Structure 1
Amino acid sequence: MHKSNKVALLIASAIVTAAGPAHAQSSLTLYGILDVFAGYQSAKVGGKNTSLYVLGNNGELTSRWGLRGTEDLGGGYRTTFALENGFDPGTGKQQNPYRFFDRQAWIGVSAPYGEMRFGRQNTPMFAWSGNMDAFSAATYGSGYNNFANWLARVDNDISYISPKLANTQLELHYSVGGQPGTLAGNAVYQAGVQTVQGPVYLALAYLNAANATNTNRVQEIMAGGNVDYGWGKIYLGFFRANEVISATTGNALSNPAGKYDPAVGPVGNTRGNYHNTYSLSADYRFTPFLTVGAGYAYIKDSSSLSNDASQMSGIVNYDLSKGTRLYGVVSRLNNRNSAQFKMAGASITTGSFLTPDGGQSETAVQIGIRHLF
């Protein structure tokens, strides 16, 4: 063999040898969810008894596809990232046409002392709420989700996630407001802690968000958890928010602190007025594949309007496989005075639910299928 060919082979071998560990130290995962349901709702709308039959999307989980990855930097350090897009399987449309990666888009660095992330991220309240509800804080049947109206995710977010110590983990978040001359305008501050102690899970989260001029603030607190009694779980959930996040006419706000839809701003609030949501639910595993649950949720309006509401629901989950589930829900929501709370479930597209007239009740049935990949 010619000397130059031998040199080329040696160089090629060295490149292959060096590239092998590099590929082994990196990972990229494509994942996703498809969720479609048949739904029925009945309520008085516009003074008329109205029924709605739909083939809807995103009943138990929001349909999405995503990429997540890591690269091992050595010494216990890793680069991490996540990109996630929400969509409606029934139409193939993006859930939010004004942004492509509408759910998550962040990059981070993980180290032995914790992880720092930068970008659009889920809030601890959104990420942990399903652990406080037999309905996973979704479907028509989750009164906890229908009443609580927490902020799901935040733009321009800087977070610190601690290592687990005694099965306990801390999260701290600061979202940069980007307003000239102030660090507080349009900023969002969050703190949360969750722990698992034997059969008991507990979590506490707080959020404080300002509008662009720092003259009005969203304030939220979430607390709750569950206990595994062997054949299922019992769940408790509490959520408190001032009126800027939960208007007295119902779940009216879609945009606390301008962080969700840039075209919509916060609604006004009255100092001292709050909504408190209480939720109690439980499930029972008949088999490893079949689970039945029920729950009750109540929201108390502290304002003079007393626009309270309550909801009772039942759910059946049947797992066909590790990735595919059938689910069924039946639910009844009762509004009081002029309250207009509705059964919206997970990220259900407008047109897949009714908004009752003030003080009117609502009944719903939902049968769906979801697949994880």
Structure 2
Amino acid sequence: MKPSVRTALSGTVIAATVLPALAHAQSSVTLYGIIDEAVRFDTHQTTTGGKLYTMGSGGQLSGSRWGLQGTEDLGSGMKAFFQLEAGFTPNTGVPQQATASGAQRLFGRTAIVGLSSDTYGSIILGRQYTLVHEMAYTHDLYALSNYTGTLGFQGAGETGGGRLDNTVRYTSPTLYGFTLRGAYTFGNTAGDTHRASSPAVSLSYDHGPLSVGAAYQVINDIGGLTPATSPYGSTYFGITIPDSQQKVFTVGATYKFAQATVYASYIYSHVYPADYRNDSFSAGVNYAFTPTIHLLAAAYVDSVKHASTQGTRITAGPTLDYALSKRTDIYAGVDYSHLTGAWTTLAATTGSNQPFFGFNSLFEATIGLRHKF
């Protein structure tokens, strides 16, 4: 089995339990989920360089979740559909994807309803992935899973995992391999239609083994000193920042060979006037030795610039994945990160999603188990 995190993130599951059909004969509801947990060893996890053995917040390859999704055939090529998806931490059972003020969400990963037409495309309403995040994980070997959680573009505005509330999205029909998407997030502020809003657009091309795409998004009013009233939080990697705007652009490509799939992407992010700019590059390969044994190897380079300072984070390492069945796989991997300059300062903050406690390097070893249902 090819361990495609991208497929899991988009809501397609390998096996599912089908609930009783809705009233329409062509309608159905599906229960699905993923549980991914691992034991990790990390260096430099205290100010004195202490080591840590932990199960952390989940496995390396996928965020754990359960959900419901369904469709209703309305006839004439039109369908209604919905998806509700909740994330959780498997070692504690605690829900994930809380609001910026700390309130728990029932369906924090996805909560959408939509209509699709073979002729006119689809429209989706609700809490959903941003277009820029969706494009980025499409061309990332690990699909921006826990392995890549420290990419710079997730540091502000999209710290909730690249999803936004109150969003409407349109997806065009695919024409000659091209698909156009547009999205708009409503800020829900009376008298100010601009505040906390987020417009976005993306264009992708898929033909045979090749997938190429780009996306651009603006997230207004991140940061600020009152996180309880901000949908995006008040910090950038744990550092409180003034009210700012984030602009993100990404472009990437994926190509499938006989036994290997290669990935490459670039992500630009600028948070202003807080003045944090990230340029993130990644490349990876998923090589199938056999249908059940895959080697995943990737490298990530993120350059951060802030005021008169700059620094680089480099993360790389392999993961070996073995499929016990179509629904269950085990994996083991190691990765090493090295920091310079401003990245060393940034990762020393207690709010960092993977703190380095002032050190400029971190080694991690992981053994995990993932099951899909």
TM-score, normalised via structure 2 length: 0.79
Partner of residue 125 from structure 1, selected from 124, 132, 150 = 132
Once the two structures are TM-superposed, the CA of residue 74 in structure 1 deviates from its matched residue by 2.0
Once the two structures are TM-superposed, the CA of residue 371 in structure 1 deviates from its matched residue by 1.0
- Does the C-alpha gap of structure 1 residues 160 and 353 become closer, same or farther in structure 2, counting only changes over 3 Å? closer
Verify the 8 A CA contact 2:131 2:217 in the aligned structure 1: no
1:364 matched to 2:364? The reply is yes
Give the Cα separation in 1 of the matches to 2:39 and 2:323: 18
2:134 partner SS: helix
Q: How many residues align?
A: 319
1:119 partner SS: strand
1:83 matched to 2:105? The reply is no
Taking CA–CA contacts closer than 8 Å with sequence separation of 6 or more, which of the two structures ends up with the larger relative contact order? 1
Q: Deviations over 1:26-79 (max 9, x none)?
A: 111111111110111102632x11211012324211111111111122222221
Verify the 8 A CA contact 2:304 2:343 in the aligned structure 1: no
Give the Cα separation in 2 of the matches to 1:269 and 1:49: 31
Partner of residue 104 from structure 1, selected from 104, 110, 115 = 110
Letter in 2 for 1:175: T
- Does the C-alpha gap of structure 1 residues 202 and 160 become closer, same or farther in structure 2, counting only changes over 3 Å? same
Structure 2 alignment gaps of length 5 or more: 1-20, 225-241
Partner of residue 293 from structure 1, selected from 290, 293, 296 = 296
Once the two structures are TM-superposed, the CA of residue 324 in structure 1 deviates from its matched residue by 1.0
2:24 partner SS: helix
Verify the 8 A CA contact 2:137 2:143 in the aligned structure 1: yes
Query: Larger Rg: 1 or 2?
Result: 1
Tell me what 1:168 maps to.
Answer: 178
Verify the 8 A CA contact 2:63 2:146 in the aligned structure 1: no
Equivalent residues in 2 for 1:31-42 (5 A)? 31-42=32-43
Give the Cα separation in 1 of the matches to 2:114 and 2:315: 40
Equivalent residues in 2 for 1:1-40 (5 A)? 22-40=23-41
Tell me what 1:135 maps to.
Answer: 142
- Does the C-alpha gap of structure 1 residues 116 and 27 become closer, same or farther in structure 2, counting only changes over 3 Å? same
Letter in 2 for 1:101: F
Equivalent residues in 2 for 1:1-373 (5 A)? 22-43=23-44, 45-46=46-47, 48-56=48-56, 57-95=58-96, 96=98, 98-111=104-117, 112-140=119-147, 142=148, 146-149=151-154, 151=158, 152-211=162-221, 216-243=244-271, 269-270=274-275, 274-303=277-306, 304-340=308-344, 354-358=354-358, 360-373=360-373
- Does the C-alpha gap of structure 1 residues 92 and 352 become closer, same or farther in structure 2, counting only changes over 3 Å? farther
Give the Cα separation in 1 of the matches to 2:65 and 2:178: 29
Once the two structures are TM-superposed, the CA of residue 364 in structure 1 deviates from its matched residue by 0.3
- Does the C-alpha gap of structure 1 residues 281 and 197 become closer, same or farther in structure 2, counting only changes over 3 Å? same
TM-score, normalised via structure 1 length: 0.79
Verify the 8 A CA contact 1:179 1:185 in the aligned structure 2: yes
Q: Deviations over 1:64-97 (max 9, x none)?
A: 1111111122222221111111112222221135
Once the two structures are TM-superposed, the CA of residue 21 in structure 1 deviates from its matched residue by 10
Structure 1 alignment gaps of length 5 or more: 1-19, 245-267, 343-349
Give the Cα separation in 2 of the matches to 1:215 and 1:85: 29
Q: Deviations over 1:281-335 (max 9, x none)?
A: 2232100111112222111223421122111211111111111111222011011
Superposed CA RMSD in Å reads 2.6
- Does the C-alpha gap of structure 1 residues 354 and 43 become closer, same or farther in structure 2, counting only changes over 3 Å? farther
